Amino acid sequence: MGAKRKQKQKIILPPDLPPEVSEDEIEISDEDKDFVDKNKEYAGFLSTLDTQSITKHVTRVADVKEDALEAFYEKRLKRKSWQKEKEEDTELQVDRVDALPVKTLDGQLYYRTAAKTPKASENDPTEEETGGAADKGIVKLTKAERRAKLKKSKKEAKKQGKDAEPEVEQTPQEAVLAEVKQDLTAEEAFESKKNKLAELGMALLSDPESNIKSLKEILQICKDNNHAMVKLGLLSMLAVFKDIIPGYRIRLPTEKELEMKVSKDVKKMRLYESTLLSVYKAYLQKLAALEKQPSFQHVAFRCICTLLEAAPHFNFRENLLGVVIRNIGSPDDVVRKLCCSTVKSLFTNEGKHNGEATVEAVRLIANHVKAQNCQLHPDSLEVFLSLSFDEDLGRAARDEKFKPQSKKSKKKKHYEEARQQKENEKKRSRQELLAKTREEVVADYKAVAFAPDVMERRGMQTETLSAVFEIYFRILKHTMQSAARSEANAGSSTGAAEPHPLLAPCLKGLGKFSHLIDLDFMGDLINYLKKLASACCDSENTSKCLTVSERLHCCIVAFKVMRSNLDALNVDLQDFFVQLYNIILEYRPGRDQGEVLAEALKMMLCDDRQHDMQKAAAFVKRLATFSLCSGSAESMAALVTLKHLLLKNVKCRNLLENDAGGGSVSGSIAKYHPDVSDPNLSGALASVLWELNLLSQHYHPAISNMASSISTMNTAHNQVYLSTISPQQAFMDYSLERPESFNPPNEIKKSTNKRKRGSGSSLLAGIEPSADTSPIDEDDVRKKLSAHFALLRDIKENQSLRAKLDGTTTSIQLYEEYKQQKKAKKPKTKKSKTSLTVK
C-alpha cells in the first residue's frame, strides 16, 4: 500500500510547448487533404473541436509571462495534491478485528479500505484557488456573471435549508466511538460534580455564615438525573447539617421585629438562620419524597434517622419522628433496624432533648399500635425496654417546695409587707420594675440551665409511663379477645384467630416495669394473666391460641408482679402452679423456647418459698417424667429443679425409696393419678421415682451422672454443683447450640472396686457397664419414646371419649326412666283398675 501511495504521489509534469512557427510558413499539401477526406472515421473528431476555447486557452497561457506561468502550474500541482489527500482521507480503514490483512508481493501487510461518502465542505481550496486565480487575472468574471452566480448559490442554500437533511448511517465503529465519547463526557461531568460537592462542603464547614448560600447549590445537585450523584449529594448535605446545626431551636423573626432597625451582625445572623431553616426544610421534603422510591429508600432513611439522632432538639423534629415511627415495623429489615435503633437512642440520650422527644415518640407508637390493630413486628415494641424511670426523683425538693407554712409566719409576713408598702409608696414603681426584671432573669436562667427541672421531668416520665402501660394493656385485651374468639369458633374451620406478635415483648415490658404499675390495676392484671395462661392449645388448630412459651411467660410476669409488690399485694398464685404443672408435658423441644421454661422453673419452683408437700411431690414426679422425653438441655434443667425441690422438702425424699406399696408417706390419697390437672390431688407421694433408673442409663454422661447422684442423694461434688447452679444456667450449658457440652468418653473402664455405702468419690461407682458397648442410636430411642408416649396419649383420649360416651348413655337412660315415670303418673281408666285387682 505504501508503494501505491508513492506512485500516486509522483508529480506529473506538463508537456513541452511546440516550437513557435508562424502561420505563413505552414503549408498543407493535396495529399494531406485527400488522406483526411478518405479517413474521416479517424479524423472526424477534429471537426468537433472547440477551436475558440482552445485558442483562448492557448493564447491566455501563451500570452502569460514566464513568472506568471510558473505560478499557474504550481497552483495546479497543489490543487491536484490536495485532491489526492482528500481522496485518501475519505478512505475508511476497516477495523482489524473485522477484516483480515492482505499481503502484497513485497511482503508488506495492508488492510482493505472503504471510501466514505463525500461531504460538501464549506472551505474547498479548489474553489478558493480558482476564485483566487480568477481574481488575479487568469480567469476573470464580469459583474453580471458574479451577480448571477451569487443568486444561484443563495437559491441552492434556501432549497437545502427547506429540504430535510437525510440521516447519515453510522458505521459500527462510529457508533462505538460515539458511545465511548459520551461515557467519557459523563465520567468527566461526574468527577467535576464530585469535586464541586467537596469544595462546597469544605467552604461551608470552614465558614458557615459566609457560605450559607452554598447549601442551595448542594441541594440543586441532589436533583440530578444520576442516582449516584443524588446519593452523594444527600450524604454530603447530611454531613454538613450535622456540623452546622446550632444547639438551639431557630425562631424566625416576626413582622414587627423585621421592621425594627438592627445592626449588620444581626441582619447577617437572621439571613444565616432563615437560609439554613429553609434549605433544611427543603432537604427534609426531598428525603420524604425519596423514601418511597426503592432505589433511594435505604439512603433516605439513613439520613432521616441520623438527623433525628444527632439533632433531636432542632426544628421539624415532629416530621422526622412521624416518618421513623411510621416505619418502625417495616417488613424491610434494614429500615426497621435503623428506625428501632434511632428510637432507642432517643430513649437513652434524653439530655439532648430534655425528654420531650421521648414523650412524643411514645405517643406516636401508641397511636400506631392502635391504628395497626396490634399487628406489628415485635421489634417495634422492644424499644420500650430501653426506657428508664426515676422513681424517687426530686422527692426532697418537692417536699421543701410544697412545705406548708404556719399561720403566725403568714400573718407576720403580711404585716411586714403592708408596712413596707406604706413606707415605700414613692418607690413602688421602681420595685415593680425590679421584680419583673428578676422574674425574667429567673426564667431565662431556668431556660438555659443544664439541669432539667425536677417537676417537669417527673411529669414527663409519668406521662410516658402511662402511655407505655396503655399500649401493654391494649395488647393484653386484644390477645384475650382473640383467644376468646378462637375458643368460640373451635369447631368451625374458619375460626382461626388473629396472630398476636406483640404479646412476647409486652410481657417482657410488664415484667421490667411491674414495680411502677398502679396498685389499682394489679388485680385486673393478674386476672388477665391468669386467663391468658389457661388459654390452652387445640391439637388440630395451634394458631387459635397462645403457645407454650407465651403461657409460661404469663406465669413468669405474674410472679414478678407479685414479688415487686409483695408488701401491698396479697394474691393467691395457686392457679399459676396448676398451669405450670399442665404446661410441662405440653412442651415440645424445638418448637417452644427452652429458656422460658428454665426461667419459669427457677422463678416458680426454685426461688419460691416452702411448697406444700403434696404439690412439691407432684412437681418432682412430673419433672422426672418430663426428663425422659425431652432433650439433654431441658432434661438437665428439670433435674436441677428436681434436686432443689428434694433439698427443700425432706419428706419428698421418700419417693426415692423402693417400697412395694409406693412411698412411705402416702397421706390420705393411696394411689397416684398422673392425669389429674391439680398437683395437690395427684397423690404423687404414693409413687416412686422409677424414672431415675432409666435416666441413669442416659446417652448423655452428664444426665446419667446427675440421675445417679439424685437417686443416692450424694453430698459430694454434684450436690454442691446443684446447690449453686440455676435451671437457666444448666439449660445454657447443655444446649445443642454449644457442641462442646457433649463429650462422651471413648472407652468405659470397668470398675473393680466395690461401691462403698455413703461414699461420693466416684459418680459412676457401683454402676456396672453393660457387655454391649456399641453406641446408642439417638434417633431410634427418640422414635421409640415418641411412639410410646403417642400411645399413652391415645389411651388418654380413648378414656376421655369413653367417659363422654358413658355420660351420654347414662343421660339417655335417665331420660327413658323419666319418660316412663311421666307415663305412670297419668290418670288410669276403670279397666286398668279391674285388671290390677285381678292380678
Q: Of 35-44, 283-292, 327-336, 665-674, where does mean pLDDT reach its minimum?
A: 665-674
Task: Give the pLDDT score at 240.
Answer: 92
Helix or strand run (H / E) with residue 703: helix 701-712
pLDDT exceeds 50 at position 36: yes
pLDDT at residue 533 tops 50: yes
CA–CA separation, 69 and 57 (whole Å): 12
Average pLDDT in the 800-828 region?
82
Burial of 440 (0-12, 13-18, 19+ CB in 10 A): exposed
| Cα separation values, 750 from 692, 703, 708, 764, Å | 22, 20, 17, 10
Give the integer Cα–Cα distance in Å for 253 and 266. Answer: 11
Question: Would residue 394 be called left, alpha or beta, if left means φ above 0 and alpha means ψ between -120 and 50 degrees?
Answer: left
* Per-residue model confidence (pLDDT) at position 181: 63
C-alpha dihedral (130, 136, 140, 146), degrees to nearest 10:
70
Tell me which of 75-84, 91-100, 177-186, 363-372 is least confident.
Answer: 91-100
CB 633 within 8 A of CB 698: no
- What grid cell was written down for 779? 434417633
What string of DSSP letters covers 194-211? HHHHHHHHHHHHH-TTTT
Reply yes or no on whether the pLDDT at 87 is more than 70: no
Measured CA to CA, the distance from residue 475 to residue 644 in angstroms comes to: 36
Q: What is the DSSP string of 784-825?
A: HHHHHHHHHHHHHHHHHHHHHHHHHHHHHHHHHHHHHHHHHT
Angle between helix 613-628 and 574-586 (nearest 10):
20
> What integer pLDDT is reported at residue 346 of this predicted model?
92
Question: % helix / strand / coil in the chain, to the nearest 5?
Answer: 65, 0, 35
Which range scores top for mean pLDDT: 148-152, 215-219, 823-827?
215-219
pLDDT interval class at 176 (50, 70, 90): low
- How many residues in total does the chain contain? 839
If one compares 344 and 434, the residue with the highest pLDDT of the two is 344
Q: What pLDDT, on a 0 to 100 scale, did the predictor assign at position 710?
A: 87
Higher pLDDT, 361 or 446: 361
Question: Is-contact 537 547, C-beta < 8 A?
Answer: yes
pLDDT > 70 in the chain, percent: 66
Q: How confident is the model at residue 2 (pLDDT cuts 50, 70, 90)?
A: low
Model confidence at 773: pLDDT above 60? no
> Using an 8 Å Cβ cutoff, are 741 and 734 in contact?
yes
Measure the CA–CA gap between 357 and 351, rounded to whole angstroms: 10
Count CB neighbours of 702 within 10 A: 21
DSSP 667: T
- The tally of CA atoms less than 13 A away on the side-chain side of residue 620 is 35
Does 133 have pLDDT greater than 50? no
Phi, psi torsion values for 446, nearest 5 degrees? -65, -35
Q: What's residue 163's pLDDT?
A: 53
pLDDT digits (tens, 9 = 90+) for 233-268: 999 999 999 999 998 889 888 888 888 888 888 888
Q: Which pLDDT does position 769 carry in this prediction? A: 38
Give the separation between CA 619 and CA 579, rounded to whole angstroms.
Answer: 12
Mean pLDDT of all residues in 442-460: 68
What digits encode the pLDDT tens for the residues 584-609? Answer: 988 988 888 889 999 999 988 888 76
Place of cell 457440652: 741
Summarize the confidence of residues 294-313 as an average pLDDT: 92
Average pLDDT, the chain: 75
| 164 against 765, higher pLDDT | 164
pLDDT at 318: 92
Q: Residue 449: its pLDDT value, please? A: 56
The pLDDT of residue 80 is above 50: yes
Least Cα distance to 504 among 443, 566, 546, 451 occurs for 546
Determine how β-strand 91-93 pairs with β-strand 102-103: unpaired
Q: Are 559 and 604 in contact (CB under 8 A)?
A: yes
- Given a cut of 80, whether residue 73 has pLDDT beyond it is no
Backbone angles phi, psi at 89, to 5 degrees: -70, -35
Domains delineated in the chain: 1-11+33-113 (no CATH), 189-392 (1.25.10)
Q: Is the pLDDT of residue 433 over 80?
A: no
- Which pLDDT does position 440 carry in this prediction? 75
Residue range 365-381, pLDDT digits in tens: 999 999 998 888 999 99
Which residue's C-alpha cell is 418459698?
609
Buried b (16+ CB within 10 A) or exposed e, 531-555: bbbbbbbeeebeebbbbbbbbbbbb
CA distances to 83, 271, 312, 353 from 251, in Å: 77, 12, 16, 17
pLDDT at 562 over 90: no
Query: Is a pLDDT exceeding 50 seen at residue 693?
Result: yes
- Can you tell me the distance from the alpha carbon of 328 to that of 343, in angstroms, rounded to the nearest whole number? 9
What is the distance between the alpha carbons of residues 360 and 346, in angstroms, rounded to a whole number? Answer: 11
**pLDDT tens digit string along 709-743?**
888 874 444 444 445 688 888 888 887 655 555 55
pLDDT score recorded for residue 342? 93
Is-above-0.85 flag for pTM?
A: no
Per the DSSP assignment, residues forming a β-bridge with 92 are 114
Query: Cell digits for 491?
Result: 369447631
Q: What is the pLDDT of residues 134-158, one digit of tens each?
A: 444 434 556 667 777 777 777 777 6
> In sequence order, what are the beta bridge partners of 91?
115
Closest CA to 710 of 695, 699, 728, 725: 695
Instruction: Report the C-alpha gap between 192 and 195 in whole angstroms.
Output: 5
Rounded Cα distance between 823 and 516, Å, is: 68
For residues 250 and 286, the answer to whether their CB atoms sit within 8 Å is: no
Predicted pLDDT at 538: 46
Predicted local confidence at residue 574, as pLDDT: 85
pLDDT-wise least confident of 50-54, 187-191, 800-804: 50-54
pLDDT at 123 over 50: no
| Range 216-237 average pLDDT | 89
Mean pLDDT of 72-89: 72
Considering only CA atoms, which of 665, 687, 691, 682 is closest in space to residue 578?
682
